[in-house]
Amino acid sequence: MGFKTDATWLMPVGALFVATFAVNTGENIVAGLLPVIAADLHVDIPTAGQLITGYALGVAIAGPALALVTTGISRRLLLFIVMAAFILGTVGCALSTSYAMLLGARLLTAACNGLFFGIAVVIATQLAPKGRETSAVSLIVAGTTIASALLLAADVAQLVRAKQPA
């Protein structure tokens, strides 16, 4: 992957940071939207909550399984395929008109999520110059941390607005 100087490795690892932020946001945003999703899809909140459980199972089961069956594919090509599938799944989530359609799209994005982080870490360490591999990995992890913090802040803001008198 050829990027080994301090000036050149940060850009592609920064792109991996952005991708990590997007994947984590897609994973966790549902929690704050459960009442809205339940109402929109005409299901109760516990049923809508299964979108979170299904996602977790998709990450835990499909991610490692996909890692095993994709060992012969270059990590760079696989990252491209995984992110393309993640984008398709995310568009599917946005366009879902039924609970089953939304669950299916979430399962696709979950499978991508489960495979994405392993690929991203491997690529980031390959891109970084010797001695900076852990810095590259920390940037990937920062995408998750920042997405989680921003989603938590948005959820708290939503709760505060809901508690204010009209």
> Where in the chain are the domains?
9-159
CB-based contacts of 86: which residues, under 8 Å, 6+ apart? 22, 23, 26, 108, 109, 112, 113, 116
4-61 pLDDT, tens per residue? Answer: 556 688 899 999 999 999 999 988 889 888 999 999 999 999 999 999 999 999 999 9
> pTM, whole model, 2 decimals?
0.84
Annotate 73-102 with DSSP letters as a single string: S-HHHHHHHHHHHHHHHHHHHHH--SHHHH
Q: 9-159: what fold?
A: Growth Hormone; Chain: A; (1.20.1250)
101-143 pLDDT, tens per residue? Answer: 999 999 999 999 999 999 999 999 999 999 999 999 999 999 8
> Would you put residue 42 in left (φ > 0), alpha (ψ -120 to 50) or beta?
left
